[in-house]
Amino acid sequence: MNFYSIKEPIRYEGPKSESELAFHWYNPTQKVMGKTMAEHLRFAVCYWHTLCWPGLDPFGGDTFLRAWHHDSDGMHAARTKADIMFETLDLLGVEFFTFHDLDIAPEGNSLKEFNANVTAIAKILESKMAKGKKKLLWGTANMFSNRRFMAGAATNPDPDVFAYCAAQVKHCMDVTKDLGGENYVMWGGREGYETLLNTNIGHEIEQAKRFLSLVVDYKHKIGFKGPILIEPKPQEPTKHQYDYDVATCYSLISSLGLEKDVKLNVEQNHAILAGHTFEHEIALASALGIFGSIDINRGDYQSGWDTDQFAMNIPEMALAIYEILKAGGFTTGGMNFDAKVRRQSIDPDDILHAHVASMDACARGLLIAAKMMEDGKLAKLVSSRYAKWNTAENKAMLAGKENLEQIAARVLSKGIEPQPVSGRQEYYENLLNSYI
Ligand code: XLS
Ligand code: NI
Ligand code: NI
């Protein structure tokens, strides 16, 4: 039984095509700066928004009425979801997918049962992946839905919850490795607090650090090659989350000296919730040497929560992809669609339209960003802004070859008086528009 109305994979037909369900810009085999679009963009379909979310909001329930949400046999529902995930990947021509353990299999009545369920479904996924030439971008453990996590996962005041999380993550890492997952993600939605009145922040941070160290040790123990990716988010569901943004995560990672093993999964919606732009977060992660992957979506600029809409804003994509190209492109990372159709988009095909539209927007962003790279005007302007740092004297200053006193003496003896130079913001902005 097919879930969608079409059976043949959606094709690239070019910008002039009037087909509703075709790629107009995303042409997987088209070469851009020496790589194909598919190699650049590395799209992944996520399990949770695509197959698990039933369309509810705080004021209303299930609008999608998908059969498997009402299936009393949890393992049967899990097999249905697996079938539909691979149907989706095939129709879209997408190579990767992502999941939480709880997305792919039912919890059962104990961790033992949950692990067995996850393992059984992973076996099914494994054979579907081999048959369809599909790959796992990353796996992750859901440590936020069950009520046991209401006061936190690894940062819960109760050490039994910490230990339970260790056991759950161990199993999810094993499964991710068995499926050839390219990364392992940790998003700490409950790692934070609701009120300081009942919270010992120092203790909770110590717990978070211990947990991350345990995970990295285990990654080495099992020979998991990919990085651990932390996904920063400032709030929601918790009022204040410890993995607030890229800068905050860097301080956690670098305090443990784990910059080689732990990178970041940057999400657009989380970036804007933290008061940043998406491109800021990508650029900063890259500058700090911890850029890993992205969750591609779009937050609403008026709402203060994670609306997880499909990314459609082409100039915004261009700026984000420009930063990714500057960073050298993805290695193990990719673009995971952490995005859901709106709850009024109740037709199965809406899921296809959403992905196709967003993949086209990303492809256009890529083409624009590649023009910016190849033209090189922006990069040249920026490097000329910093050109004075290339003199021997200034290089030495940056390298720490002079102390504060020596610098002060040099300024006074040479009579150095800085001459302000225009930042030319409007010129830069116009230059950006010329590529779009
Ligand atoms: C929630 C997060 C979540 C992670 C995976 O806001 O984006 O979906 O990507 O746990
Ligand atoms: Ni996400
Ligand atoms: Ni999110």
Are 22 and 73 in contact by the 8 Å Cβ rule? The answer is no
Last residue of a domain, one of 346, 375, 404: 375
Last residue of a domain, one of 332, 357, 375: 375
Is residue 11 one of the residues assigned to a domain? no
Is residue 52 one of the residues assigned to a domain? yes
The whole-number pLDDT of residue 251 equals 98
* Whether 84 and 207 share a structural domain: yes
Q: Which atom of ligand 1 is nearest to the CA of 233?
A: 6
pTM, two decimals, is 0.98
The yes-or-no verdict on residue 369 having pLDDT over 90 is yes
The yes-or-no verdict on residue 233 having pLDDT over 90 is yes
Mutate to test the pocket of ligand 1, among 186, 295, 303 (most ligand atoms within 8 A of CB): 295
* Whether 176 and 211 share a structural domain: yes
**Residue with the nearest Cα to atom 2 of ligand 1?**
187
* Whether 104 and 181 share a structural domain: yes
Concerning whether 375 is annotated as a catalytic residue, the answer is no
User: What's the 299 CA to ligand 3 centre distance in angstroms?
Assistant: 9
Amino acid at 218: Y
* Whether 280 and 371 share a structural domain: yes
* Whether 180 and 279 share a structural domain: yes
* Whether 254 and 297 share a structural domain: yes
Q: What is the rounded CA–CA span in Å between residue 75 and residue 293?
A: 31
Last residue of a domain, one of 358, 375, 392: 375
Neighbouring C-alpha atoms within 13 Å toward the C-beta of 65 = 4
Output the furthest CA–CA distance in the chain (Å, rounded).
83
Is residue 3 one of the residues assigned to a domain? no
The whole-number pLDDT of residue 59 equals 97
User: What's the 139 CA to ligand 2 centre distance in angstroms?
Assistant: 12
**Residue with the nearest Cα to atom 4 of ligand 1?**
187
- Mean per-residue pLDDT for 318-327? 98
Query: Using CB atoms within 10 A of its CB, is residue 93 exposed (0-12), middle (13-18) or buried (19+)?
Result: middle
- Mean per-residue pLDDT for 201-207? 98
Q: What is the rounded CA–CA span in Å between residue 223 and residue 36?
A: 30
* Whether 165 and 251 share a structural domain: yes
Is residue 96 one of the residues assigned to a domain? yes
Concerning whether 355 is annotated as a catalytic residue, the answer is no
Give the whole-number percent of the chain exceeding pLDDT 90: 100
DSSP alpha helices (H): ranges in 68-158?
74-92, 101-104, 111-132
Is residue 16 one of the residues assigned to a domain? no
Full domain range(s) for residue 210: 31-375
* Whether 283 and 399 share a structural domain: no
Q: What is the rounded CA–CA span in Å between residue 399 and residue 35?
A: 36
The whole-number pLDDT of residue 176 equals 99
* Whether 385 and 276 share a structural domain: no
Is residue 143 one of the residues assigned to a domain? yes
Could you list which residues have their CB under 5 Å from ion ligand 2? 267, 295, 338
**What pLDDT band is residue 1 in, cutting at 50, 70 and 90?**
confident
Q: How far is CA 347 from CA 55, 106, 358, 415, in A?
A: 12, 25, 17, 72
The whole-number pLDDT of residue 134 equals 98
The β-bridge partners of 138 are 98, 183
**Domain harbouring 202, CATH code:** 3.20.20.150
Is residue 2 one of the residues assigned to a domain? no
Number of domains in the chain: 2
* Whether 83 and 118 share a structural domain: yes
Catalytic residue among 40, 49, 103, 261: 103
Convert the pLDDT of each residue in 124-174 to its tens digit: 999 999 999 999 999 999 999 999 999 999 999 999 999 999 999 999 999
In sequence order, which residues have a C-beta less than 8 Å from that of residue 398 and are 6 or more positions away? 389
Is residue 4 one of the residues assigned to a domain? no
User: What's the 17 CA to ligand 3 centre distance in angstroms?
Assistant: 33
Convert the pLDDT of each residue in 23-72 to its tens digit: 999 999 999 999 999 999 999 999 999 999 999 999 999 999 999 999 99
Q: What is the rounded CA–CA span in Å between residue 246 and residue 244?
A: 7
Q: Which atom of ligand 1 is nearest to the CA of 236?
A: 6
Tokens standing for residue 247? 């800068």
**Closest ligand relative to 236 C-alpha:** 1
* Whether 389 and 364 share a structural domain: no
* Whether 152 and 250 share a structural domain: yes
**Coil vs helix vs strand at 12:** strand
Ligand 1 environment, Cβ below 6 A? 100, 140, 185, 187, 189, 231, 233, 267, 295, 306, 338
